[in-house]
């Protein structure tokens, strides 16, 4: 059973370009979370999605950022018109369908975005 | 201020015990976690504790929770060089809600 997969692992974009980050959850997992880790910082929650639904986007910047988790295919985190401050590691985590009081979030290896 | 705070750095010798501390502010935190991040890698869940527990032991790892003081600690017995990594404390309100992380403690184990 493959773990959470993210691609690309490293992404370089010039200011003003768009960045698309992909996350394939573990097999059988229908919940996806995106976190951002700025240099020398902890992970900050961005958005929580289920298939075709955004459950909580309270951590997502209001402009330029969007996320989706379609019925088929990976979850996508999209950053439009990137700026230098967007340079960070973006981690995706997934968890299975919720029937228990606790479920572990399994993290992917992250995508390291560098904006030049 | 930060919801979850940790000391930033800890250095120990191989074979010693390591204790990494964490404080949190949200009294409604239900689950508290310790994650390990090795260089260039994602986060690996080491252990978690439910808020109605005081202690949890798992092989070389011991988690202590003082709910009154909102203090969590991770003790690693017989620390090895392979334990060198960044350790993140995290909390959630429910078992499936989003996680709030501390900034991480870098553990350096010297031979």
Question: What is the tens place of the pLDDT at every residue in B44-86?
Answer: 989 989 888 899 999 999 999 999 999 999 999 999 999 999 9
- Please give the span between the terminal C-alpha atoms of chain B, in angstroms, as a whole number: 36
Interface test with A, best of B3, B23, B36, B42 (most A CBs within 10 A): B42
B25: confidence class by pLDDT, cuts 50, 70, 90: confident
Q: Does A32 touch chain B (CB under 8 A)?
A: no
pLDDT of A109 strictly over 60: yes
Helix (H) or strand (E) holding A53: strand A53-56
For residue A101, pLDDT over 60 is answered with no
Whether the per-residue pLDDT at A25 is higher than 50: the answer is yes
State the Cα–Cα distance between residues A59 and A41, nearest whole angstrom: 15
Residue B51 per-residue DSSP state? T
Coil vs helix vs strand at A45? strand
Average pLDDT, chain A: 91
Angstrom distance (rounded) from CA A73 to CA A68: 10
Which of B1, B22, B96, B104 to mutate to test binding with chain A, by most A CBs within 10 Å of its CB?
Answer: B96
Does A99 touch chain B if contact means CB atoms closer than 8 Å?
Answer: no
* Contact assignment for B45 to A104 by CB distance below 8 Å: yes
Question: How many residues are listed for chain A in this entry?
Answer: 116
Using the beta-carbon criterion (under 8 Å), do B101 and A42 form an inter-chain contact?
yes
Please give the helix or strand (H or E) that residue A12 lies within, else none. Answer: strand A10-13
**Residue B105 and residue B20 in contact, taking contact as beta carbons nearer than 8 Å:** yes
Nearest CB among A42, A56, A95 relative to B88 is that of A42
A100, pLDDT greater than 80: no
């Amino acid at each position: 059973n493959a773990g959470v997969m993210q691609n690309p692992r490293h992404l370089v974009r010039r200011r003003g370009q768009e960045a698309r980050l992909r996350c394939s959850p573990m097999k059988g997992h229908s919940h996806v979370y995106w976190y951002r880790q700025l240099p020398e910082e902890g992970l900050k929650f961005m958005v929580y999605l289920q298939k075709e639904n955004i459950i909580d986007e309270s951590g997502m910047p209001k402009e330029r950022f969007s996320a989706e988790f379609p019925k088929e295919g990976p979850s996508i985190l999209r950053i439009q018109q990137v700026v230098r401050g967007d340079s960070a590691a973006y981690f995706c985590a997934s968890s299975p369908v919720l029937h228990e009081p606790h479920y572990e979030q399994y993290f992917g290896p992250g995508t390291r975005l560098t904006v030049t | 201020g930060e919801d979850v705070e940790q000391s930033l750095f800890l250095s120990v010798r191989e074979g010693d015990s390591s204790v990494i501390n964490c404080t949190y502010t949200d009294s409604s935190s239900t689950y508290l976690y310790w994650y390990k991040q090795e260089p260039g890698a994602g986060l690996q869940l080491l252990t978690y504790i439910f808020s109605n527990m005081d202690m949890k032991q798992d092989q070389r790892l011991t988690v202590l929770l003082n709910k009154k003081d909102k203090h969590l600690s991770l003790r690693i017995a017989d620390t090895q060089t392979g334990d060198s990594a960044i350790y993140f404390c995290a909390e959630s309100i429910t078992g499936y809600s989003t996680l709030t992380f501390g900034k991480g403690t870098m553990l350096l184990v010297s031979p």
